[in-house]
Structure 1
Amino acid sequence: MKEIEIEKAMDLENKIFIDVRSPSEYKENHIPGAINVPIFSDEERAVVGTTYKVEGQNSAKWQAMNVVSSKIPELMKTIRQEIEAGKQPIIYCWRGGMRSKSVCTFAEFSGLNVTRLSGGIRSYRQWITQHLTEELLPQRFVVLHGMTGVGKTIILHMLKDRGFPILDLEALAGHRGSVFGGIGLGVHNQKTFESLLYHDLKKVQGLPYVCMEAESRRIGKATQPDWLLQAKTKGIHIILETTVEIRAQRIYEEYVDPYGKEPDFRERVGEAIAPILKRMTPATRDDILGALEAGDFYRFISTLLTDYYDPRYQHKLDEYPGPFYFVNVDDLERCVEEIIQILSKSNKYNEELPQSRSH
C-alpha cells in the first residue's frame, strides 16, 4: 500500500484528496478541495462505535464489513472517475487508520492506483499550524474601512472583478461579522478558517499589495492571527462613507430580501442579537425588540446601526494609525474608480503615501 507524507502531498499538482470519514466529520473540518466519499454514514459510524465499546474490536470489524460491503462498487466507481479525469487520489481519514487502509486495499484489488495519506487529517492540521505564518503575507494591505452596511464586501469584489488581488476574510470565516453575519452561510470553525486562510494567503504571498476589509479580531467563530492584525495597521487605509438610509437598504437587500420569508428567519435574528442586547440602553433594546416582533426589519436595521454599531465605529478606527482616504460610496462604480485613483498614486503600492485627511 502506497503512503505519502503531507509535505510531499501538498506539492503534487494533480492530487485530489478523498475524505472517507462520515459526512459530519467532513463538514466539521476537511482539507480544502477534498471530496467526501464516506464509507460510513453518521448513523452507521455510531453503530460501529457502540459495537466496539460493548462487544470489542473483532465484533466491530465484522459489523463494519457488513455495512461497507454493499457500498464498495460505488466507492470504487467514484475513485475511478477521479483517476480517469487525470487526478491522483490521496485517501485519508482521521489519523490514517482502518477506514483509509480499507478503502486503499479495496482500490488496489480493483486495479486503481491510489495513495494513502500518512497520519490522516491530523497530519494536515499539524502542517497548517506550522506553515500558517507571517511569511505568507503580501508586502502591503489596502484596507477598506467603513460603518456596518456601507458595502465594503461589495466594493472588495468589484475590485476583484477589475483584476485586483483580494483577501476575503468574511468568506473564509463563513460569517459577515454583523448580527446577520451567519445567515445564509455555513459558519466555519477555527480549523476550517485557518486552512482556508493558509491557501488564500499562499496565492498572494509576496505580492506588492492585497485588498481586504478591516475586520475585527473575531469573525463569527474564527479568530485572526495577531500577525495578520498587525500587518493590516501598516496598510493603505480607505474609509468608505454613505448615509444611514443607504446602509440600511443594502443590509435589507443582502439579508431580508433573500432570507426574510424563511419560517425561522425572525427566530434566527432574535438568537443572533441576544448576546448584544445587554450592551444596549433600555430604550434602544425596547425599540429593536419591538421592530423585530413587528417584522419591521428596516426599522430594526436602522436602529441597530445608529444606536449600536455606529457609536462603536470610532473606537475601531483608533486601532489604525492612518493616514485615511475618505471615499463616498453612494455610487458603487464611482467609488471603485476613486479607490483605483488613490492606489495609482502610491507608485505600485510600495512607496509611502502622502498625508491625507485624518480622522
Structure 2
Amino acid sequence: MKPLQVLATADPAALAAFDQIIDVRSPGEYAQDHLPGAINLPVLDDAQRAEVGTIYVQESRLRANRIGAAHVARNIARHLETSLADKPEGFRPLVYCWRGGQRSNAMATILQRVGWPTTVLNGGYRTYRRWVQARLYDVPCDLDLVLLDGDTGSAKTAILSDLARQGVQTVDLEGLACHRGSLFGAVPGQPQPGQKLFESQLVATLDALDPARPVVVEAESSKIGNRVVPPMLWEAMRRAPRIEVTAPLPERARYLVEAYGDIADQREALLAILERLPVHPSQKRLAAWRALVDQGALTALAEALMALHYDPAYARERRKSGREPLATLALDRLDPSALGRAAAEIAEIVATRPPSEWPGP
C-alpha cells in the first residue's frame, strides 16, 4: 500500500483538488467550526470521545486505547457501508481531525487500503484555523467596499438582498452572524454561530468575490450581536464611501415593526431589552416605553426609540467620519417596489462611478 499523502496547507486552491473533505472529529467539534464543504464522518462521537478521555485520565492508557480503537473500527465500518458506499475507484478524499493525529490517520489508512488515494491534512483543523486567522487578521482587505448606510428601519438589509439578486457583489454580515444588528436583532430559535464558524463563513464569502468589482456591505458596528467583525474588514468598512438611504420616521417605524414581527408578542424580552440600552433612559421615559409595550403600541415605541436613541447615535457616527456620502436616496415608502427601485439605482451608481471618483477617507 502506498504511504498516505500529507497536505501542508489549507488554502482554497489546495483544498479544491480533492473530491471530498472529510472531518472525522466528533459532531460537537464539527458544529463549532469546520473546513468549507467538509462532511462529518466522526470516528468517535461526542459521548465516545468523552468516555475514552475519562478512561485515559482516570484508569489506564491501554484500556482507553483499546476501547477507543473498538469504537473507531465500528464507526469507520458504518461510514464505509453508508456515506462512502457509492464512491468510485478514483475517489480522492482529504481527511482531517483536530491536529492531524490518530483519528484522521485511522480513517485515512483504511480508506487508502480500500483503494482510494487518500491525503491527510497536516496539523488538522488547527492548520486551517491558522490560515483563517492570517487571512482575516494579518492581510489588509483589498476590496473596493461601498457602505449601504441609513438610520434604523430604513430597510438596508432588504435593499442589500435586492442588490444581490440584481447581480451586485454584496456581503451580508448580518446573515452570516445570524443577527439583525441591534439589541432587538436576535433571531428567535436561531442561535448565532460561534466566532470561529462566523469567520470561516466570512472567509468563504470574501474568497468568492471578484476583487475587480465593487462590493456593497451594510454599515454595521464592529460587533453584530456577539460576533466581532475582524479588524482588517472593519477598518476597510470605516474608510469606505457610503450610499445613504433615508425615509420618513413614521414609515421607518412601520417597516421596523413589520420586519421585527417575530418579537412583537414577547413582552418580557422587549422590556429586558429596554433595560439594556447603552444610553440608559430616564425613569420617566422608560416608564412611558414600558406602557407602550403593555398597550401593544409597538409602532409608537419604535418611533420613540428611533427619534430619541438610535437616530442621534447614527448622526454622531456620521459626523465623526466628516465625509459626504457618495449618494443619498430619499424614499417616501419602504414597500417592495420602492426598495427594488432603490437597489437598481444603487447598482447603477456602483457600476458607473469608478473607485477613483469615490470620496476619500
> How many residues are aligned here?
348
Q: Which runs of 5+ in 1 are unaligned?
A: none
2:198 aligned partner: 193
2:6 aligned partner: 3
1:226-278 deviation per Cα after TM superposition (whole angstroms, max 9, x unaligned) = 33233234433111112333333333333424x767xxx55655665654377
Deviation at 1:135, TM superposition (A): 4.5
Structure 2 Cα separation of the partners of residues 68 and 268 of structure 1: 45
1:220 aligned partner: 225
TM (norm. structure 1) is 0.84
From 347, 351, 354, the equivalent of 2:356 is: 351
Return closer, same or farther for 1:12/1:90 CA change in 2, 3 Å cut-off. Answer: same
Structure 2 Cα separation of the partners of residues 54 and 145 of structure 1: 57
1:29-64 deviation per Cα after TM superposition (whole angstroms, max 9, x unaligned) = 222222222223322222222111111222112222
- Write out aligned runs for 1:163-202 (5 A): 163-184=167-188, 185-202=190-207
1:58 aligned partner: 62
Question: Are 2:44 and 1:40 aligned?
Answer: yes
1:327 aligned partner: 329
Deviation at 1:106, TM superposition (A): 2.8
Return closer, same or farther for 1:254/1:293 CA change in 2, 3 Å cut-off. Answer: same
From 218, 233, 236, the equivalent of 1:231 is: 236
**109-118 or 273-282: bigger deviation:** 273-282
TM (norm. structure 2) is 0.83
- Contact 1:145 / 1:237 at 8 angstroms: preserved in 2? yes
1:156-182 deviation per Cα after TM superposition (whole angstroms, max 9, x unaligned) = 121111111112222232322112323
State the SS of the aligned residue for 1:95: coil
2:16 aligned partner: 13
Structure 2 Cα separation of the partners of residues 96 and 285 of structure 1: 55
The one-letter code of the counterpart of 1:333 is G
State the SS of the aligned residue for 1:198: helix
The one-letter code of the counterpart of 1:335 is A
1:282-303 deviation per Cα after TM superposition (whole angstroms, max 9, x unaligned) = 2343344445566665455444
**274-283 or 189-198: bigger deviation:** 274-283
Return closer, same or farther for 1:97/1:295 CA change in 2, 3 Å cut-off. Answer: farther
1:97-118 deviation per Cα after TM superposition (whole angstroms, max 9, x unaligned) = 2221222223233333322111
The one-letter code of the counterpart of 1:351 is S
Q: Which runs of 5+ in 2 are unaligned?
A: none
State the SS of the aligned residue for 1:187: coil
Return closer, same or farther for 1:7/1:281 CA change in 2, 3 Å cut-off. Answer: same
**CA RMSD for the aligned pairs?**
3.0
- Write out aligned runs for 1:17-28 (5 A): 17-28=21-32
- Write out aligned runs for 1:288-303 (5 A): 288-292=289-293, 297-303=298-304
From 223, 240, 243, the equivalent of 2:245 is: 240
Question: Are 2:122 and 1:118 aligned?
Answer: yes
The one-letter code of the counterpart of 1:308 is H
- Contact 1:134 / 1:228 at 8 angstroms: preserved in 2? no
The one-letter code of the counterpart of 1:343 is V
The one-letter code of the counterpart of 1:6 is T
Deviation at 1:66, TM superposition (A): 3.5
- Write out aligned runs for 1:23-102 (5 A): 23-77=27-81, 80=84, 83-84=87-88, 88-102=92-106
Give the fraction of aligned pairs with identical amino acids, expressed as a percent. Answer: 31
